[in-house]
Chain A
């Protein structure tokens, strides 16, 4: 059992990790073929993840309903929504699911265009109301740093719209400088730190030091 759960996954991670790095630095035509083959395998394995995801999601909601956990009623809506969308996409307006293209005028297309698209856009547009509320309640000049941030935010907000340009030509210029200099400097530091972390984590996985991706147990 230990061999299946630990040794083989660690060995696979090591072999594919080292091989994956090596083929990036090889100009041999065999390396190009190997890259193509591995990428196709990964795409197939990635497809399996959808099945696993659906299984896990259904299990989670069933568990909630069985135990009558707080908010279990929402799980009914999950099953209703999930069921309707899955059935509609399987039926696909009579063309069935093996035709990958969504059939014109099908229930699935209607659900997507009439429910999903406007609901998604509405969720994102709520951000405007959150910002308006935050502007009144939380953006306070409590310290020097907070004041600096507040002033910079106001300049960028005015510099990013034509109104700022109409008030003064300095707004777009100062806004541009703020984005290109202090913003870039801070982001670069974060990005480099994250990138070094990713390299370190990848090496830890390849050499079997990091094992949390194997799940629980030994």
Chain B
């Protein structure tokens, strides 16, 4: 632990330095991120977009910038945005994000242009099937405890069949459920926003065209911000991420150098 303590101090030092002295780096957006951006960009104004906010504050660093970018883009393009979550612990956090972005668009109204429905227990299969039949019946009240039945947004987007684009912002395994019960069953075009760790799992879905785009990790957020030409949290974290990745690679090289050196010494002794 003694030597590791210094290692951790170096990690903290590098991160603090990179965040305090940011350096602009070129960002070339990935195709998978571009697909999400283009889908939202090319949908006719007033299309229904559902954001499943399936994460909690643990994944804040990665999924908050992705959520903010997607919300800003969708509302900016004049789409109807509906949010919900399967993660109870992220419920209040997701509502804060909707409220924060909603405040940036004073002309948009809660219940008419966007709404955050909150959490619903009962399991993914049952809740998504309910959404596929009738969204207000599945969520009789929104997060603010207001009846959804009379909300103008649900006159246009009544069920999943009326949703033009569904994006699952996930810190866990929820994309599988959404793809199975919403994407495949109701033929909703889907995309996934996830943590960098979950990213590799999603390439299978991308390849099978079960999702048309993927925004993974802080890099995904930075790519999306680059496409929107609106640098924010994702872009500002890229320098820190670059330095940390480089540092870990250096650690691996140094660790292996010592490993081979000790092996060589043992060999010499024999």
* B89 at the binding interface (Cβ < 8 Å): yes
Q: Specify which of A35, A116, A129, A163 is in contact with B245 (CB 8 Å cutoff).
A: A163
A121 and B60 contacting across the interface, CB-CB below 8 Å: yes
Q: Does A179 contact B (CB under 8 A)?
A: yes
What separation, in Å, do the CA atoms of A136 and B200 have in the docked complex? Answer: 24
**Which residues from A are CB-within-8-Å of B141?**
100
The CA-CA distance from A154 to B245 in the complex, in Å, is: 9
Mask for B55-97, Cβ within 8 A of A = 1, else 0?
0111111000000000000000000000000000100110000
A43 partner, pick from B56, B130, B143, beta carbons under 8 A: B130
Contact assessment for A161 and B241 in the assembled complex, using a CB-CB cutoff below 8 Å: yes
Asked if B251 contacts A136 (CB within 8 A), the reply is yes
Give the tally of cross-chain contacts (CB within 8 A).
Answer: 173
What is the distance, in angstroms, from B120's C-beta to the closest C-beta of chain A? 6
Establish whether residues A158 and B245, one from each chain, have CB atoms under 8 Å apart when the complex forms.
yes
> Is B121 a contact partner of A50 (Cβ separation < 8 A)?
yes
- Asked if A191 CB lies within 8 Å of chain B CBs, one says yes
A102 within 8 A of B: yes
Range class of the B interface residue count: 35 or more
Across-interface contacts of B245 in A (CB, < 8 A): 157-158, 160-161, 163-164
Q: Residue B61 contacts which of A124, A132, A140, A153 (CB distance < 8 angstroms)?
A: A124
Q: Which of B117-164 contact A (CB under 8 A)?
A: 118, 120-123, 125-127, 129-130, 132-134, 137-138, 141, 143-145
Contacting residues, chain A, for B238 (C-beta < 8 A): 161-162
Report if A43-B126 is in contact (Cβ < 8 Å); known contacts: A50-B121, A101-B145: yes
Contact residues of A between 30 and 53, Cβ < 8 Å to B: 32, 35-36, 38-40, 42-47, 49-50
New A-B contacts (20) at CB < 8 Å, excluding given A128-B244, A136-B254: A32-B133, A36-B129, A39-B138, A43-B122, A43-B138, A99-B145, A112-B93, A119-B57, A124-B61, A125-B61, A132-B8, A135-B249, A135-B251, A139-B256, A140-B259, A158-B245, A162-B242, A163-B25, A176-B30, A180-B203
Complex: chain B residue closest to A179, CB-CB: B203
Q: B255 an interface residue at 8 Å Cβ cutoff?
A: yes
How big is the A interface, by class?
Answer: 35 or more
Residue of B nearest to A47 (CB): B121
* B27: Cβ under 8 A from any A Cβ: yes
In the complex, how many angstroms separate the beta carbon of B12 from the nearest chain A beta carbon?
9
**B222 contacts across to A, CB distance below 8 A:** 162
- Give chain B residues whose Cβ lies under 8 Å from the Cβ of A109: 92
- Can you identify 27 A-B contacts, CB atoms within 8 angstroms? A24-B185, A36-B134, A38-B126, A39-B129, A40-B138, A42-B125, A43-B122, A100-B118, A109-B92, A113-B92, A128-B11, A128-B15, A128-B244, A131-B248, A132-B251, A135-B252, A139-B256, A140-B259, A153-B252, A162-B242, A165-B26, A165-B28, A166-B25, A176-B30, A179-B199, A184-B203, A187-B200
Q: CA A75 – CA B199 in complex, angstroms?
A: 36
A7 on interface, CB distance cutoff 8 Å: no
Q: Are A129 and B11 in contact (CB under 8 A)?
A: yes
- Residue A168 at the chain B interface, CB threshold 8 Å: no
Secondary structure type dominating chain B contacts:
helix
Q: Which of A44, A128, A135 has the most CB of B within 10 A?
A: A135
On whether the beta carbons of B249 and A158 are closer than 8 Å, the reply is: yes
Are B252 and A163 in contact (CB-based, < 8 A)? no
The answer to whether B145 and A120 touch across the interface, beta carbons within 8 angstroms, is no
Q: How far is the CB of B270 from chain A (nearest CB, A)?
A: 19
Contact with A184, one of B27, B207, B241 (Cβ below 8 angstroms): B207
Chain A positions 173 through 189: 1 when the CB is less than 8 Å from some CB of chain B, otherwise 0: 00010011001100110
Cα distance A114–B101 when bound, in Å?
A: 21
Q: How far is the CB of B241 from chain A (nearest CB, A)?
A: 5
Instruction: List, in ascending order, chain A residues with CB within 8 A of B249's CB.
Output: 135, 154, 157-158
Whether, in the assembled complex, B204 has its beta carbon less than 8 Å from a beta carbon of chain A, the answer is yes
CB-CB under 8 A from B26, the residues of chain A are 162, 165-166
